[in-house]
């Protein structure tokens, strides 16, 4: 009879230990993975939107220096990337209505340092947007 009582007392705290094991090895990595890939997706979407906006501005004749500076400024925002972003504009040999302009933006997405959750392409994000040139003004449009 005393043996059964002792078994009952030995079981106290087992549920806390089981919860800790499940939390540490299952729930915590899943939560950290959601945060990690959330940062990466945020950076990917921001880079894509920035490239589209920059190419739209270039298609109507805005100054290249101003457009690339604005794109880099948007990509340098909080929680977007961990490195200095770049933005490049590519024109065809002749800048004429109907030809295509290309804008490429690149950055390194934030990495919270989880070795068991690698990011695609080691977190390097490159987005390219293309548009048909709609306007070639005599002088570039001001910013």
pTM for this entry? 0.79
**Taking a C-beta distance cutoff of 8 angstroms, is the pair 64, 89 a contact?**
yes
- 143 lies in some domain: no
pLDDT of residue 48: 96
- 138 lies in some domain: no
The pLDDT mean for the chain works out to 85
Between residues 12 and 96, which one has the greater pLDDT?
Answer: 96
- 3 lies in some domain: no
Residue 113 pLDDT exceeds 70: yes
Q: In what order do the strands lie in the sheet with 100-108?
A: 86-90, 100-108, 124-132
**Taking a C-beta distance cutoff of 8 angstroms, is the pair 32, 114 a contact?**
yes
Phi, psi of 111 (to 5 degrees): -130, 120
50: helix, strand or coil: helix
pLDDT of residue 126: 95
- 137 lies in some domain: no
**Pair type for strands 86-90 and 100-108:** antiparallel
5 falls in which pLDDT band (50, 70, 90)? Answer: low
Mean pLDDT value of segment 67-91: 87
Mean pLDDT value of segment 126-135: 93
Count the domains in the chain.
Answer: 1
Determine the Cα–Cα distance for residues 101 and 68; give it in Å rounded to an integer: 13
Q: What's the domain range around 56?
A: 12-132
Residue 88 pLDDT exceeds 80: yes
- 53 lies in some domain: yes
Residue 63 pLDDT exceeds 60: yes
8 falls in which pLDDT band (50, 70, 90)? Answer: low
Give the residue from 141, 51, 50, 137 showing the smallest Cα distance to 95. Answer: 137
Determine the Cα–Cα distance for residues 142 and 61; give it in Å rounded to an integer: 9
Mean pLDDT value of segment 83-104: 89
Span 99-111, pLDDT tens digits: 999 999 999 988 8
56 falls in which pLDDT band (50, 70, 90)? Answer: very high
- 139 lies in some domain: no
């Amino acid at each position: 009879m005393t043996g059964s009582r002792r078994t009952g007392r030995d079981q106290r705290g087992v549920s806390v230990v089981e919860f800790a094991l499940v939390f540490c090895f299952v729930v915590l990595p899943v939560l950290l993975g959601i945060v990690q890939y959330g940062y990466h997706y945020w950076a990917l979407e921001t880079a894509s939107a920035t490239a589209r906006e920059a190419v739209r501005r270039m298609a109507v004749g805005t100054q290249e220096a101003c457009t690339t500076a604005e794109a880099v400024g948007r990509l340098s925002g909080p929680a977007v990337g961990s490195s200095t972003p770049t933005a490049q504009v590519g024109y065809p040999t002749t800048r004429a209505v109907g030809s295509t302009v290309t804008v490429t933006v690149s950055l390194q997405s934030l990495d919270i340092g989880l070795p068991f959750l690698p990011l695609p392409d080691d977190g390097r994000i490159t987005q390219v947007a293309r548009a048909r040139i709609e306007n070639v003004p005599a002088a570039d449009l001001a910013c």
